[in-house]
Structure 1
Amino acid sequence: MKYTESQLEQAFISLLETEGYIYIDGKQLQRSLNQEVLIKEDLRAFLQDRYEDLEEIELESITNELAFQSTSNLYESNKYICKLLADGFIFKRNNPQKKDLHIRYIDCDSVANNTFKIVNQLEIQGSELRIPDLILYINGIPVVVFEFKTAIEEEITIHDAYKQLTTRYKRGIPELLKYNVFCVISDGVNNKAGTVFSPYEFYYGWNKITGAEKKALTGIETTTSLVQGMLNQTLLVDIIHHFVLFPDNSKREDKILCRYPQYYAANKLYQNIKAHRKPIGDGKGGTYFGATGCGKSFTMLYLTRLLMRSTDFASPTIIIISDRTDLDDQLSKDFTNAKKFIGDENIINIESRADLRSRLRGIESGGVYLTTVQKFAEDAEILSDRTNIICISDEAHRSQVNLDLKVKIDEEKGVTKSYGFAKYLHDSLPNATYVGFTGTPIDKTLEVFGDVVDQYTMFESVNDEITVRLVYEGRAAKVNLDYNKVQEIENYYENAVAEGASEYHVEASQKAIAKMEVVLGDTDRIKAIAQDFINHYEKRIAEKATVAGKVMFVCASRTIAYKLYQ
């Protein structure tokens, strides 16, 4: 079925009414000026009900804190207002005898205390007259703007709806968009959400209603999942509260709205950590199985905010652990630029185990520390026995699950015993709760971190148009053995035995050179493969110059990888 814009608008209104939204015809909305976009009587009613002893001048001041934000820099005003909606602010009373108030414009704890309305075809006069298709209000604040396009006319797409919002509305009616949390674009079949500052490719569907579904919805069904999922009143308030990220400093106008896999994963992990935290639980906070495209670093940021802002955890200390320096650097960059979002200025990249020890000794709560798992093997002294420490491990399928004893026999050193890095980590923080993020969970992962709490597969990522489809094309590389070389090697070993070499050493040497790695790493073979890749790439570019793609080279060893790189 294909809708006209008017039919689509009515369909959304009907769906939103079933979710408890009150519908108002924009033409009937009482306003003193058509420049006004706030429904001030709703905002005032909410504030008066929540803060009963506000004086009239105080009520006006709190309302103006939102209304008088300038639109000369839309990004900065929107960043400030979204923070007000998420976190509120401290308001000093006119009467110094009265305590300061923590003002919230949206009740995040009791969603039923808020007023939810939808208004269509509201005429707004800015530098130009614009009429948005649909606006969603909470307590008189226009937090979501919808733009619809018909699917009947082939030349019109939801990209036109995107341009309408992010170009024409941004230029013509910034007064509306300064309050905007996110936008929705739809033609009935394609339903996507994103921010007014997001590139078009970062508008995504909300394809699950509860997060418990095994299969994501597609096509026209995503209208239902968007309304009953993302725009469900409880979820919407939660998204506004915890899941819209502005970096502290941004050269571009970055505003990151969560995607549905990130939202559901962060909330499920939070609940699982709460259930398994020590001393009552087993300390296994759970495993998140997220394939490429799941947005892992942002999921970690959202989870960290949930933990740090929660009254259930009373300001825990969070340690983010990776197993490679490049991953540590990237996570450090993301986290240290999100101090206001997380709600803790103490976000630090750890230099050594001793550095972490000194920092943990100085505090009983709070702090976010980023480090690599290798640093935990620098000594064996306990770092902290506190129970309010949560360790979040990136790439939790490699060095972060090796708890077992390793025994090595060396002719010179004799028998040496050692443990994997994970053993030192768990011994260092014996009462911490551990959470694992991985793209390839193995049995060991589940033993260390607990069962898979949520997952987002590569198949889902491709269907959601987040990851491009993987293409595998088999290529055979011939390996020719020179008979004369083989005979030469055999003669060498016969001479070695004749000159007194032991059979043990000869056998060990033969095994070493017979390894497949030696064959695969042959220089001529590597050169041939490299040339084949180049030829294949150039042919692809010549055929389809506009097609973007990525390639990953997987080699049998680091040595072979370096040869191929050269």
Structure 2
Amino acid sequence: MLVEQIQRLDPGVVTAVPQAEAVIRRLLSLRADIEGNREAWEYLKGLKTVFVQTERRERNLVLLDPERPQANRFHVTDEFTFQSGARRIRADVVFLVNGIPVIVIETKAATRLEGIAEAFDQIRRYHQEAPDLMAQAQLFALTHLVQFFYGATWSLSRKALFNWREEVSAPAGRPEVDFETLVKSFIAPRRVLRVLTDYILFARKDGELQKIVLRPHQMRATERVLARSYQAVTARQAPRRGLIWHTQGSGKTYTMLTIARRLLEDRRFDNPTVLLIVDRNELESQLFQNLEAVGFGHVHLARSKRHLRELLQADTRGLIVSMIHKFDDMPADLCTRRNVFVLVDEAHRSTGGDLGNYLMGALPNAVFIGFTGTPIDRTAHGKGTFKTFGADDPQGYLDKYSIRESIEDGTTVPLHYQLVPNDLRADREAMEREFWALAELEGVADVEELNRVLDRAVTLTNMLKNRERVEKIAAFVADHFRRYVQPMGYKAFLVAADREACALYKEALDRHLPAEWSAVVISAGHNDPPHLKRHHLSEEEETRLRRAFRKPGENPQIFIVTEKLLTGYDAPILYCMYLDKPMRDHVLLQAIARVNRPYESEDGQRKTSGLILDFVGVFENLERALAFDSQDVSGVVEGIEVLQKRFADLMSTGRTDALPLHAGKFADKAVEAVLERFRDKERREAFYRYFREIEEIYEILSPDPFLRPYLEDYQRLVEMYRLLRAAYEPHVPVDKSFLRKTAEIVQQHSRTDAIREPQATYEIGPAALLALLTEEKPETVKVFNLLKELHRLVEDQGRAAPYLLSIGERAEEIRRRFEERLIESQQALQELEGLVKQLNEAHAEQASSPLSRQAFAVEWWLRTHQVAAAQARQVAQEMEGAFAALPHWMSSRRQESELRTALYTALLAAGIGEVVAWADAILNLLRRAAQ
């Protein structure tokens, strides 16, 4: 199919089958890693070429056509089998365009509590075991019917997994978008083509190649900007401005770059000029230093005011990157074309005053799109931003993605703050006199402006750098970091008043923590004294430190900063910010947004919020610290006491609804009461959700004297959760699911439960299962002990003895009926006893059977489906030869077809009627055993 499509999509370029096959060989020879994946994307994007002999030149190669969806061929496969060397994987669903696998989807049953996590683990495994397939695939999705997540292949951290929430109308009569509509919107051919070619980015961050797929709000904003831009160049009276208001941490930079690239590539805009106006921090970042690597052609970087003027006077086309101050004193009408597009980053501070007037005067007919990551403040400055960019839209913006939306989507986490003890806090009178009372602070928009104010606040900054105070705070930070932050596996920022304060804090912190745990990152000054020069970093060393900080288990664990890294630096592992620098408005929001990135470690540790420890008192009055409408910042940052109250409320609920189940009962009877109470699946899952929330809050608050009255009851809730998970979810390793501080409780206080935990101290087998039947335990407890051990037996030995899988399926069916109260414990025990006896019989027979494990599995499957022993043995013996003659039937379509024919023949000869369905079931059983 790919051979046919290459010729069809490349007329006059690829004209013969051998040429198309040569292209495919190039695809198959790509590196099996993220570098190869980027090259595969370049093929899909149409960036690769092929030499045309008749024209004696290179021509672009087209593998898919996003402009004409009907010219492409779309296929979906179920149970996609792929052989990678000696390893074989079987993906649940794979989508192919023109024969190329582009999306891999893992599906789990809605009943699987950890379904999404299990599916994500499968995707990660595919990258390890079949990297040559994943080098071609560009996207993956995970679903268990309840939720639908997606992400980019080779971007496998939990923070890069997004909730697909398409903004489509719900079908008539339904309150929300149903699952079918959600899935159809995700894999709609036109959208898939657009996502593959326009909404994937590859970028290097601190030297490492990363892959990004845009989220729904980013795609939506891009399409809206393109629509407005097209209106502006085709209609004289159309709006020519717009404001994109996307909260910090929502990928604003990548949205800007995608819009710029789309404008440059779209033929409708007739070879335009696109200006990216960014701040110094962005300009200095590796991303903007190497935009060619993000998919742009030649980029013009304005080196000076004169250079920028020359570029505009010369009618330069393509991408120009500049800082706003280079427009200072720029002549009017430098470029009057209509197909000029100006994308202004951090518009709330970039275009204030005369600079904005010079910019717009120099480009009178351009389209201006402003981007901001913080709410528009209530001051005249903030209203001016709305007026400059949002005047053409009734609500003041072209597209908005609020802080609350980002928290709901999981693209950012909520923040909590804590005021440190009064004796460590900045002097209130000095703060009031030299910081809060200054008129120029109203609506302060960038760190440099803030620093100029602090330079004049001599009393305040000297007080903040008082050696005795610095020593006390360093001791506090070291203790807090050791007790609260490090045990959770996270890292921290210490934000000091200025560069000298950073040096002082490093010196003090090294007296309490190993020196390698912390590092100072400041900008270098030519005339710096020796105590500052010792903290100057080369570009390579700073890159190394920034990269190491992002990784768990590597030093440094604390960055000491004052200006650098407070905007643009993205380190999801950053959890805590020790704030000892007065800030407010946009600067404060941008700084604290460093800790709002979601994070999940490889062992399942989840960051559910960020923490700010306030040493200067800016959070004593949030209304004064953040000059924004309350609706725009509600839920951004709350006091830690909110979590304390929530924990107390949750414990009260637990004491009322759950803990009384233990009252007056001991050992087995208490266990039985808990298991009976939570037999109902919905009630059980509600308890799991309840426990997850209380555990996450405990993780944040512990250790704290506030928790002391709750510790014993919390420990009992932990035991109850552990008991239920061990009994009802045997496929989920229980202890691994605990967060770190709760896991310590389990290790210190765990008792042997009546529900057996997996132990490798004795051999599992029929004898052990029969012993469980005679234990002096309540019937409910015996049922779960048997189910638990049967599950372990199947998991451990199912590959070597495939017949166990069918026994495992029957055990799971007994579990389901028991949980749904279709049978009571006595009947469940009787059925399990029969199953164990069958198992014992099968165990003994296999030991003496001459049949291979595959043939014996066929015999036993038939016998458990009421086929007489003689007939079952006859079918198995006939299949023995087929298995020997067709050893590769699982990976060879021809061999599978021949084996299936042999199985049909054997079943018919034995007088069995349901040939096709039973053959499917038997072959699926054998495949599962081989995985």
Take 1:285 and 1:144, find their aligned partners in 2: how far apart are those partners? Answer: 36
CA apart distance, 1:325: 1.9
* Structure 2 counterpart of 1:182, one-letter code: L
Match of 1:549? 575
C-alpha contact (below 8 Å) 1:268/1:453 kept by paired residues: yes
Match of 2:44? 85
Higher helix share: 2
Question: What secondary structure, in the 3-state scheme, does the structure 2 residue paired with 1:320 have?
Answer: strand
C-alpha contact (below 8 Å) 1:206/1:229 kept by paired residues: no
C-alpha contact (below 8 Å) 1:133/1:148 kept by paired residues: yes
Is the counterpart of residue 446 in structure 1 residue 446 in structure 2? Answer: no
Take 1:151 and 1:557, find their aligned partners in 2: how far apart are those partners? Answer: 44
2:287 pairs with one of 320, 327, 334: 334
Decide whether aligned partners of structure 1 residues 247 and 454 sit closer, same or farther in structure 2, where only a CA change above 3 A counts: same
1:65 pairs with one of 8, 23, 45: 23
Is the counterpart of residue 360 in structure 1 residue 312 in structure 2? Answer: yes
1:205 pairs with one of 141, 162, 168: 162
Question: What secondary structure, in the 3-state scheme, does the structure 2 residue paired with 1:123 have?
Answer: strand
C-alpha contact (below 8 Å) 1:123/1:129 kept by paired residues: yes
1:285 pairs with one of 241, 249, 252: 241
CA apart distance, 1:83: 0.7
Decide whether aligned partners of structure 1 residues 190 and 540 sit closer, same or farther in structure 2, where only a CA change above 3 A counts: farther
C-alpha contact (below 8 Å) 1:309/1:342 kept by paired residues: no
Q: Aligned ranges for residues 35-184 of structure 1 at < 5 Å?
A: 41=1, 43-51=2-10, 58-68=16-26, 69-96=28-55, 102-127=60-85, 128-150=87-109, 152-154=111-113, 156-166=114-124, 168-184=125-141
Take 1:190 and 1:274, find their aligned partners in 2: how far apart are those partners? Answer: 36
CA apart distance, 1:291: 0.6
CA apart distance, 1:397: 1.3
CA apart distance, 1:443: 3.1
Decide whether aligned partners of structure 1 residues 340 and 59 sit closer, same or farther in structure 2, where only a CA change above 3 A counts: farther
Decide whether aligned partners of structure 1 residues 524 and 274 sit closer, same or farther in structure 2, where only a CA change above 3 A counts: same
Match of 1:320? 276
CA apart distance, 1:171: 3.5
C-alpha contact (below 8 Å) 2:274/2:320 kept by paired residues: yes
C-alpha contact (below 8 Å) 1:189/1:222 kept by paired residues: no
Take 2:429 and 2:159, find their aligned partners in 1: how far apart are those partners? Answer: 52
Q: Please list the CA deviations of residues 380-400 of structure 1 after superposition, one character each: whole Å capped at 9, or x if unmatched.
A: 465333332211111111241
Q: Aligned ranges for residues 456-495 of structure 1 at < 5 Å?
A: 456-473=401-418
Q: Aligned ranges for residues 392-411 of structure 1 at < 5 Å?
A: 392-402=343-353
C-alpha contact (below 8 Å) 2:107/2:119 kept by paired residues: yes
Take 1:393 and 1:212, find their aligned partners in 2: how far apart are those partners? Answer: 32
Decide whether aligned partners of structure 1 residues 541 and 148 sit closer, same or farther in structure 2, where only a CA change above 3 A counts: farther
Take 1:160 and 1:305, find their aligned partners in 2: how far apart are those partners? Answer: 36
Take 1:557 and 1:202, find their aligned partners in 2: how far apart are those partners? Answer: 27
1:187 pairs with one of 138, 144, 147: 144
Question: What secondary structure, in the 3-state scheme, does the structure 2 residue paired with 1:132 have?
Answer: strand
Aligned length in residues? 458
CA apart distance, 1:111: 1.0
Take 2:178 and 2:384, find their aligned partners in 1: how far apart are those partners? Answer: 37
Q: Please list the CA deviations of residues 489-547 of structure 1 after superposition, one character each: whole Å capped at 9, or x if unmatched.
A: xxxxxxxxxxxxxxxxxxxxxxxxxxxx9799486588799767974784475245315
Match of 2:210? 254
Q: Percent identity among equivalent residues?
A: 21
Question: What secondary structure, in the 3-state scheme, does the structure 2 residue paired with 1:254 have?
Answer: strand
The answer to which structure, 1 or 2, has the higher relative contact order (CA under 8 A, 6+ apart) is: 1
CA apart distance, 1:453: 1.3
C-alpha contact (below 8 Å) 2:13/2:59 kept by paired residues: no
Q: Please list the CA deviations of residues 389-427 of structure 1 after superposition, one character each: whole Å capped at 9, or x if unmatched.
A: 21111111124143xxxxxxxxxxxxxxxxx22112112
Decide whether aligned partners of structure 1 residues 61 and 202 sit closer, same or farther in structure 2, where only a CA change above 3 A counts: farther
C-alpha contact (below 8 Å) 2:344/2:350 kept by paired residues: no
Q: Aligned ranges for residues 5-20 of structure 1 at < 5 Å?
A: none
Q: Please list the CA deviations of residues 333-387 of structure 1 after superposition, one character each: whole Å capped at 9, or x if unmatched.
A: 3244232544421242x22211111222334422x22222122114546533333
CA apart distance, 1:59: 3.5
Q: Please list the CA deviations of residues 219-272 of structure 1 after superposition, one character each: whole Å capped at 9, or x if unmatched.
A: x96855752333222111001111111237984342221122221111111111
Take 1:293 and 1:339, find their aligned partners in 2: how far apart are those partners? Answer: 24
Is the counterpart of residue 305 in structure 1 residue 305 in structure 2? Answer: no
Is the counterpart of residue 240 in structure 1 residue 196 in structure 2? Answer: yes
* Structure 1 counterpart of 2:116, one-letter code: I
Decide whether aligned partners of structure 1 residues 211 and 378 sit closer, same or farther in structure 2, where only a CA change above 3 A counts: farther
Take 2:428 and 2:340, find their aligned partners in 1: how far apart are those partners? Answer: 57
| TM-score, structure 1 as length reference | 0.70
C-alpha contact (below 8 Å) 1:283/1:434 kept by paired residues: no
Question: What secondary structure, in the 3-state scheme, does the structure 2 residue paired with 1:121 have?
Answer: strand
Match of 1:421? 355
Q: Please list the CA deviations of residues 284-307 of structure 1 after superposition, one character each: whole Å capped at 9, or x if unmatched.
A: 331101111210110011101110
CA apart distance, 1:199: 3.0
| TM-score, structure 2 as length reference | 0.44
Take 1:183 and 1:55, find their aligned partners in 2: how far apart are those partners? Answer: 30
Take 1:55 and 1:71, find their aligned partners in 2: how far apart are those partners? Answer: 20
Question: What secondary structure, in the 3-state scheme, does the structure 1 residue paired with 2:142 have?
Answer: strand
Question: What secondary structure, in the 3-state scheme, does the structure 1 residue paired with 2:243 have?
Answer: strand
C-alpha contact (below 8 Å) 1:248/1:339 kept by paired residues: no
Q: Which moved more, 1:249-258 or 1:174-183?
A: 249-258
Take 1:54 and 1:358, find their aligned partners in 2: how far apart are those partners? Answer: 40
Q: Aligned Cα RMSD in Å?
A: 4.0
C-alpha contact (below 8 Å) 1:71/1:178 kept by paired residues: yes
CA apart distance, 1:207: 3.2
C-alpha contact (below 8 Å) 1:279/1:387 kept by paired residues: no
Match of 1:406? none
> If you compute each CA radius of gyration, which structure gives the higher value, 1 or 2?
2
* Structure 2 counterpart of 1:549, one-letter code: Y
Take 1:107 and 1:427, find their aligned partners in 2: how far apart are those partners? Answer: 40
* Structure 2 counterpart of 1:396, one-letter code: A
Decide whether aligned partners of structure 1 residues 77 and 169 sit closer, same or farther in structure 2, where only a CA change above 3 A counts: same
In structure 1, runs of 5+ residues without a counterpart are 1-40, 403-419, 483-516
C-alpha contact (below 8 Å) 1:205/1:222 kept by paired residues: no
Take 1:365 and 1:434, find their aligned partners in 2: how far apart are those partners? Answer: 17
Q: Please list the CA deviations of residues 89-111 of structure 1 after superposition, one character each: whole Å capped at 9, or x if unmatched.
A: 444434349x9754311111111
Decide whether aligned partners of structure 1 residues 520 and 236 sit closer, same or farther in structure 2, where only a CA change above 3 A counts: farther
* Structure 1 counterpart of 2:89, one-letter code: R
Question: What secondary structure, in the 3-state scheme, does the structure 1 residue paired with 2:67 have?
Answer: coil
CA apart distance, 1:433: 1.4
Question: What secondary structure, in the 3-state scheme, does the structure 1 residue paired with 2:166 have?
Answer: coil
Question: What secondary structure, in the 3-state scheme, does the structure 2 residue paired with 1:280 have?
Answer: coil
* Structure 1 counterpart of 2:79, one-letter code: Q
C-alpha contact (below 8 Å) 1:204/1:464 kept by paired residues: no
C-alpha contact (below 8 Å) 2:37/2:136 kept by paired residues: yes
Decide whether aligned partners of structure 1 residues 207 and 474 sit closer, same or farther in structure 2, where only a CA change above 3 A counts: farther
CA apart distance, 1:137: 0.7
Take 1:315 and 1:171, find their aligned partners in 2: how far apart are those partners? Answer: 43
Q: Which moved more, 1:181-190 or 1:377-386?
A: 377-386
Match of 1:373? 324
In structure 2, runs of 5+ residues without a counterpart are 377-381, 431-455, 491-573, 592-614, 617-931
* Structure 2 counterpart of 1:325, one-letter code: R
* Structure 1 counterpart of 2:299, one-letter code: N
C-alpha contact (below 8 Å) 1:305/1:341 kept by paired residues: no
